[in-house]
Amino acid sequence: MKKSILLLAVIATFAFTSCKENAADKVDEKNVEAVVENNTDAAKFPVISFAETEYDFGTIDQGTPVEHLFKFTNTGNAPLVIVDAKSSCGCTVPTWSKEHIPPGGEGEMLVKFNGSGQNQVTKTVTVTANTEKGKELIKIKAFVTPKAGATSNSPIQVNGTN
């Protein structure tokens, strides 16, 4: 038993001391340059710059569909990819080009609102893209005039009381 432990100790000592090469000698300048370049590229992100991030349709009649075209530019230094765009409700539908937008390139997002709701209405579209933040917000708003005969959301008064 003592001989086997002694043998394992000798083998372990040999294994740990036999590496005579210096790790610094194995570093190749090309590898260092490649790592630096990869780290630099990893820091490059597209930047989506909207000409406007909010649009006001003004006063519209209830049920009247309206739409607005949001224009944007990729002011970053990598291709922009819009993965998704979701609105805060089903009454607002965003559509966009699925192509990659190169640095300096321009794109558009069409936002359609069906005119639902009453009074002041604000809807948000969350744009998911490969930007550094990952999500960008744009908004639409309108004052929706109820149709004649439509009921409002105010409490009903009975006998002059609420």
Model confidence pLDDT, tens digit, residues 75-133: 999 999 999 999 999 999 999 988 999 999 999 999 999 999 999 999 999 999 999 99
* Per-residue confidence (pLDDT) for residue 76, from 0 to 100: 95
* Per-residue confidence (pLDDT) for residue 100, from 0 to 100: 96
For the cut 50, the answer to whether the pLDDT of residue 155 exceeds it is: no
Q: Is residue 160 part of a domain?
A: no
Banded model confidence at residue 134, pLDDT cuts 50, 70, 90: very high
Banded model confidence at residue 147, pLDDT cuts 50, 70, 90: confident
Q: Is residue 35 part of a domain?
A: no
Beta strands 135-145 and 54-61: pairing type? parallel
Q: Is residue 131 part of a domain?
A: yes
Query: pLDDT digits over 22-65, tens only?
Result: 555 555 566 556 555 554 555 689 999 999 999 999 999 999 99
Range of the domain at 123: 48-145
* Per-residue confidence (pLDDT) for residue 92, from 0 to 100: 95
CATH number of the domain that residue 76 is part of: 2.60.40.10
Q: Into how many domains does the chain fold? A: 1
- Please state whether the predicted TM-score (pTM) of the whole model is above 0.85: no
Position with higher pLDDT, 19 vs 99: 99
Q: Is residue 57 part of a domain?
A: yes
Q: Is residue 20 part of a domain?
A: no
* Per-residue confidence (pLDDT) for residue 137, from 0 to 100: 97
Q: Is residue 67 part of a domain?
A: yes
| Residue range 18-25: mean pLDDT, rounded | 54
* Per-residue confidence (pLDDT) for residue 149, from 0 to 100: 67
Q: Is residue 121 part of a domain?
A: yes
